[in-house]
A and B are shown apart, each in its own frame.
Chain A
Amino acid sequence: MSAAPAWLQHLPVLLVVLPIVASALLLAVAERRRRLKRAISLVTAVTMVAVAGLLVLSCDGQLGGGTGGPQVYRLADWPAPFGIVLVADRLSAMMVLLTDLLGVTALVYALARWDRSGPRFHALFLLLLAGINGAFLTGDIFNLFVFFEVLLAASYGLILHGSGEERTRASLHYITINIATSLLFLAGVAMIYSVTGSLNMADIAVKTPQVARGDLMLLEAGAAVLGVAFLVKSGIWPLNFWLPRTYAAAAPPVAAVFAIMTKVGVYIILRLTSLLFGEGSGAAVGFADHALVLLGFATMLFGTLGILATRQLTRVAGHYVLVSSGTLIAAIGLGGQALVAALLFYLVSSTLAVGALYLLIEPVERNADEEDLIAGIAEPVFDDEYVGAVSEEADEVGIIIPGTIAVLGGAFIFCTLLLAGLPPLSGFIAKFAIISALFDQDAISPSAWTLAGLIILSGLATLVAMTRAGIDLLWTPGEDAPARLSVIEVVPIGLLLGVCLSLMVAAGPLYRYVETTAGGLGAPRAYIEAVLGSRGGAPR
Chain B
Amino acid sequence: MEAVLALAIGILVASGLWLLFRPRTFQVVLGLSLLSYAVNLFILAAGRLRTDAPPIVDGKAVDAALYVDPVPQALVLTAIVISFATTALLLVVLLAARGLTGTDHVDGEDEEP
Q: What residues of chain A have their CB less than 8 Å away from a CB belonging to chain B?
A: 142, 146, 149, 152-153, 156, 160, 163-165, 168-169, 171-173, 175-176, 179-180, 182-183, 186-187, 189-191, 193-194, 199
Contacts and interface: CB of A to CB of B under 8 A. Distances in A.
B78 A146 contact: yes
B89 A175 contact: yes
A101 to B, nearest CB: 29
Given A190-B46, A190-B75, A193-B72, A169 B86 contact: no
B39 interface: yes
Nearest to B69: A197
Interface of B: 20, 25, 28, 32, 35-36, 39, 42-43, 45-48, 71-72, 75, 78-79, 82-83, 85-87, 89-90, 93-94, 96-97, 100-101, 106-108
A190 B101 CA distance: 39
Contacts of A142: 75, 78
Given A179-B36, A182-B83, A190-B45, 11 more contacts: A153-B89, A168-B96, A172-B94, A176-B32, A176-B90, A180-B35, A182-B86, A183-B39, A193-B71, A194-B45, A199-B71
B107 A180 contact: no
29 contacts: A142-B75, A142-B78, A156-B86, A164-B100, A165-B100, A165-B101, A168-B97, A169-B97, A172-B93, A172-B106, A173-B106, A175-B86, A175-B89, A176-B90, A179-B32, A179-B36, A179-B86, A179-B87, A180-B20, A180-B32, A180-B35, A183-B32, A186-B79, A187-B39, A190-B46, A191-B46, A193-B71, A193-B75, A199-B71
A199 to B, nearest CB: 7
Contacts of A171: 93
Contacts of B45: 190, 194
Q: Is the interface of B mostly helix, strand, loop or mixed?
A: helix
A32 B57 CA distance: 51
Given A180-B20, A180-B32, A193-B72, A172 B97 contact: yes
Contacts of B79: 186
A169 B39 contact: no
Nearest to A173: B106
A190 B72 CA distance: 8
A186 B82 CA distance: 11
A175 B90 contact: yes
Nearest to A178: B86
A179 B48 CA distance: 26
A128 to B, nearest CB: 15
Given A153-B89, A176-B90, A190-B46, A169 B75 contact: no
A212 B20 CA distance: 36
B88 to A, nearest CB: 11
Contacts of A168: 93, 96-97, 100-101, 108
B89 A156 contact: yes
A45 to B, nearest CB: 25
Contacts of A173: 106
A225 to B, nearest CB: 11
A102 B92 CA distance: 30
A160 B92 CA distance: 11
B111 to A, nearest CB: 15
9 tightest A-B CB contacts, nearest first: A194-B46, A190-B46, A190-B43, A169-B108, A165-B100, A168-B97, A183-B39, A149-B82, A186-B39
A118 to B, nearest CB: 12
Contacts of B86: 149, 152-153, 156, 175, 179, 182
A229 to B, nearest CB: 12
A183 B108 contact: no
A182 B20 CA distance: 14
A199 B70 CA distance: 13
B9 to A, nearest CB: 10
Contacts of A187: 39, 42-43
B10 to A, nearest CB: 13
Nearest to A198: B71
Nearest to A82: B71
Nearest to A186: B39
A172 B100 contact: no
A430 B38 CA distance: 44
Residue from A164, A165, A176 having most chain B Cβ neighbours under 10 A: A176
Contacts of A152: 86
A183 B35 contact: yes
A522 to B, nearest CB: 31
Contacts of A183: 32, 35-36, 39, 83
A153 B46 contact: no
A173 B28 CA distance: 11
Contact of B93 (A164, A165, A175, A182): A175
Nearest to B35: A183
A537 to B, nearest CB: 22
Contacts of B47: 193-194
Given A153-B85, A179-B32, A165 B108 contact: yes
A165 to B, nearest CB: 5
Given A169-B97, A190-B43, A191-B46, A179 B72 contact: no
